[in-house]
Amino acid sequence: MSDYKEIYERWLTSDVVDEDTKKDLSEISGNEKEIEERFYRELEFGTAGMRGILGAGTNRMNIYNVRRATMGVLKRVQMLGEEAMKKGVLIGYDTRNFSDTFARETACVLAAGGVRAYLYDCVHSVPEVSFGIRELGCSLGVVITASHNPKEYNGYKVYGPDGGQLPPDAAEIVIDAINECDVFDDVITMPFDKAKEDGLIEIVGKELDEKFLTAISTQQLNPDAVKAVSESFKLIYTPLHGTGSRPVQAILKRIGFENVIVVKEQDTEDGNFPTVKSPNPEEKDSFNIAVKMAKENDVDLIIGTDPDCDRVGVVVRDANGEYRVLTGNQTGALMLEYILSQKKEQGTLKDNSIVIKTIVTTELATAITKAYDVEILDVLTGFKYIGEKMTEYEKTGSHSYVFGFEESYGSLAGTHARDKDGVVATMLICEMAAFYKTKNMSLYEAMQEIYKKYGYYCEKTVSFTMPGKDGMEEMAKLLKGLRTNPLTRVYNMDIISVTDYLAQTITTDNNTSTFDNLPKSDVLKYNLSDNKSSFIIRPSGTEPKIKFYMASSADDYKTAEKTVENMLDDIKKQLNL
């Protein structure tokens, strides 16, 4: 890339750049650090798409980078031929600032290139778009979202014809096309109204919405449990200012929940997310209003979905009356136990059933599947890898997909989509809570029963933010250092094996073996000598963070939790974090 100062000047003088953007850039004149941060690189488009801070510059989310990214999508569809161009691209968007603008810009670029664009009529969730791609038979899909990132962010995700995020080989084709495209000179577009008039942009919505809800309702496992407690069972739901409000409320009403209390302050499509620090259902602070309401209404269960409604956070009341946010691992384990137990009881658990999780997700899932004699598969971090296996099994018939989940609060029951689905997850969590209520149990008590049955597993994910150019270099240096000077002991335990997913090696006692059953990824996993503890280190694929995933199991939860904390403290000391 050219000198960032030259690029900055080009943006300031370009005939393509609008006056508001030029004004924004003029205001940072003389601020060398800010100019460098905005222009030192192109906003990276990786296999998970593109995500960045809103603003002017090559390293920011704006209409120019959205158009450039769409040129890559356009080239991919054009390569697939005329039929693929007719099948078109489905475009969805969440409630974030400029999401609707970016969606329209995406549609206009595709239309200019002769590709039909199906554009949702209002904000829609990730699972609705994933479902819609399959239902319409589209060649690709695009979702404008930055998931649960803070309000300063937005993003651009690309989906394949199976409804899953693009696999690495297809993503590389899009990335190469983007890299060959000049942000101004090579971009084509056309007026929105003209594209609609010519039939190149088609607005979709209600009909697809109904088909989606019908598909979700087929995943019910125990409708009688909902009927049994529908009048007395109360729950609180918050969409956290996101896309979940319409589909979640609709599906809960459809299956018979009569007492759903919605957090009205957070039932607004507001990209500034005014009631929360960050619209992240992993954080208890996101549920402050809901918890207050729960105490006032004597409610046992609170559910929240993030802005694009692919992740679900669950808050339960414990034995002391305190409200606790379940981890993504705990929610996934509860759902897994419930799904497998119900299917086994009903005789619908097939011999070739399989559950899929990511390598950073709890090993409690392995213990549960073993008890039901169900196969479990580990894939790399990112739900697209779960989606890839689902599509493979659909083609080969070798396995029957039952459930997939990851520690980061995402799961999918059913095969109607190929990405995380907070709508079906919310429906099943509520049904599960109703089922346990018929047994005079809360979800908190159900979780304790799982621990008693399978052992006490504790996991903790910690992120260290390393923003900007310096942060990227710092992360790269840290991971390189771990490979050249490996850790050998953590919290009085020897490291007995190291799995390097980038080198695709497993090193044990100076013996190294190789594997090739997973794509390469910049991830390191360490197993410790108690044979119950491990940790994983990886840079985030979507944020300027490095992540540590700690895990341990024991005969009681406090022991496992203490081990996890001590491991983390020791690692932080050794790595000067």
Residues annotated as catalytic are 147
Residue 453, Cβ density class (10 Å: 0-12 exposed, 13-18 middle, ≥19 buried): exposed
Phi-psi region of 98 (alpha: psi -120 to 50; beta: other; left: phi over 0): left
Report how far residue 297's alpha carbon sits from residue 290's, in angstroms, rounded to the nearest whole number: 10
Report how far residue 258's alpha carbon sits from residue 27's, in angstroms, rounded to the nearest whole number: 53
**Packing angle, helices 206-217 and 126-136, rounded to 10:** 100
* Listed residue (174, 170, 165, 89) closest to 132, CA to CA: 89
β-pairing, 533-539 vs 545-554, is antiparallel
* Listed residue (489, 120, 551) closest to 363, CA to CA: 551
Phi, psi for residue 117 in degrees, rounded to 5: -115, 120
> Is 21 strand, coil or helix?
helix
Report how far residue 407's alpha carbon sits from residue 451's, in angstroms, rounded to the nearest whole number: 17
For the chain, what percentages of helix, strand and coil (3-state, to nearest 5) are there? Answer: 40, 20, 35
* Listed residue (541, 94, 129) closest to 273, CA to CA: 94
* Listed residue (243, 209, 274) closest to 103, CA to CA: 243
Sign for the pseudo-dihedral over CA of 301, 304, 305, 311: negative
Residues 225/434, Cβ–Cβ less than 8 Å: yes
